[in-house]
Chain A
């Protein structure tokens, strides 16, 4: 149900190793809970984030939520397409709906995050 190549946080972000750089977004579960996304605020390219820092925010007609950095690193690219097409977050959360990319990510920090099976169980426990 959730992509095996990603790691997940309790705040419903995913992070994926894309060959040196790490791509970050929010999970399909988070996008579904938010409803139609209307606006995404992204971090400044070049900014340094620690794990748990507020990195971005996402707004829907229902609510506005912060998106946290799943791991520390430097923001090397942001998904500018979300500026005009925030619906990509709902349509393709693990693909075109990505938020930003991090370089210099510490592999040890990733180890502490949930894998797909653990996240699926976590969502199951919290969605009733």
Chain B
């Protein structure tokens, strides 16, 4: 496909102006460019076709199966889009909320913020939730800052964050940005965190531990309660990375398990857009210990009227207004539409779908762990790699079947890993089509490995040179 600049023809225009009927004035020379800007000269139809064709090359969950492990690429229901488009939400000026005189004009929006925070708190067993953080990692950073504020307030000299080796890469990064030293804790051979490794790493300088549950091996951590008790004995805190909350809704609540602070990914668990800029939303939830430090201002309700209040020891604002408000509107619509039983069923089907895929593929690909997978399953393509077909080749080959690749080379603890998360929104037919393709690719890896090295063949572009792209970072062309 041509670039829009290559479609440019001198003098071609998309807009027509009336003849000038006022005296022409010249701009001060200092404000004028020396050379005209290089802009494409195209007609309106050229522009429409160009961007329509670009959009048709997109590989998204609306067009294709997208089993990207650890990402929960579930379908985004169009009902939530329709609700977010209501003019009462979409055309609201956020400053109506900041000015007390106008606060009466946005009571509905404030009520939505209040109710969504309460709904998320109930789902996760937390005391309070703040919608402010605008992405998952932003939620992690906010959570880490809340932990730091707690220890500072109590005069605790704690500067170390424990992070298991099965954590998301953002966990150590968020802790480091918040000023903590990061110490890694090893997993056991069964893929769950080692209690003795936590005990060994635990000392007076430890401020907290960041845990994902189910972890990024797709396994539920069975010793959370013991880990929480261990940490609390020395006034350290337990953080819940909510990336995999989609596996446990309605069955287990992080607050009940002993977690003190967490983030949600509305763009994963609650069906809001994910990828291509989302935008995301990573609300934080806290238990009793951290309530006083939450970002402010917060929406409070007194006698049916919604107002704003900043907690006494608030860490301040972490985003403008209430974060990505229209994403919260979508998540609220999703939660209210499904209700408690619906959310529980979503988690059950997410786990069922992942285990169906696991059962169909475990004879063909090497399972990374024996059993216990929740909403995603992890395989190793190490046996295929020995024959010259790596996880990356399998991922690229899937594209030619009209299927997005699973996550590859993550988790880092598994060699040649393939991490598959089908989500609850896929039918058995789609799962079967995916498993059939995976099995066929494994066959080709033995009979005709070279055909996989050339994949993808049917996409707008073939195999990209990722190494060169990373080595020669040149964004100025």
Q: Which A residues are in CB contact (< 8 Å) with B49?
A: none
The residue of chain B having its C-beta at the shortest distance from the C-beta of A59 within the complex is: B470
Q: Tell me if B's interface is mostly helix, strand, loop or mixed.
A: helix
Contact with B along A61-76 (1 / 0, CB 8 A): 1110000000000000
Q: Which residues of A contact B412 (CB under 8 A)?
A: 63
Number of chain B residues whose Cβ lies closer than 8 Å to a Cβ of chain A: 7
| Stretch with Cβ within 8 A of B (4 or more), from A18-26, A33-41, A94-102, A104-112 | A33-41
Q: Which of A33, A39, A127 contacts B470 (CB 8 A)?
A: A39
> How many residues of chain A have a CB within 8 Å of chain B?
11
A93 at the interface (CB under 8 A from B): no
List chain B residues, Cβ under 8 A from A38: 467, 470-471
The reply to whether B415 and A39 form a contact with Cβ atoms under 8 Å apart is no
B356 at the interface (CB under 8 A from A): no
Contact A61 B415 (CB under 8 A): no
The A29-69 residues at the B interface (CB cut-off 8 A) are 33, 36, 38-39, 59, 61-63
Contacts of B89 in A (CB 8 A): none
- Specify which of B409, B415, B466, B471 is in contact with A86 (CB 8 Å cutoff): B471
Closest beta carbon of chain B to A118's beta carbon, Å: 21
**Chain B residue contacts of A86, Cβ below 8 A:** 471
CB distance from B348 to the nearest CB of A (A): 33
| Residues from chain B with Cβ under 8 Å of A63 in the complex | 409, 412
Q: Which A residues lie within 8 Å of B409 (CB)?
A: 62-63
Residues of A within 8 A of B471 (CB): 38-39, 86-87
Q: List 12 A-B contacts (CB under 8 A).
A: A33-B415, A36-B467, A38-B467, A38-B471, A39-B470, A39-B471, A59-B470, A61-B466, A62-B409, A63-B409, A87-B471, A127-B415
Residue ranges of A at the interface with B (Cβ–Cβ < 8 Å): 33, 36, 38-39, 59, 61-63, 86-87, 127
For the complex of A and B, list the 4 residue pairs with the smallest distance between their C-beta atoms, beginning with the closest.
Answer: A38-B470, A36-B467, A62-B409, A61-B466
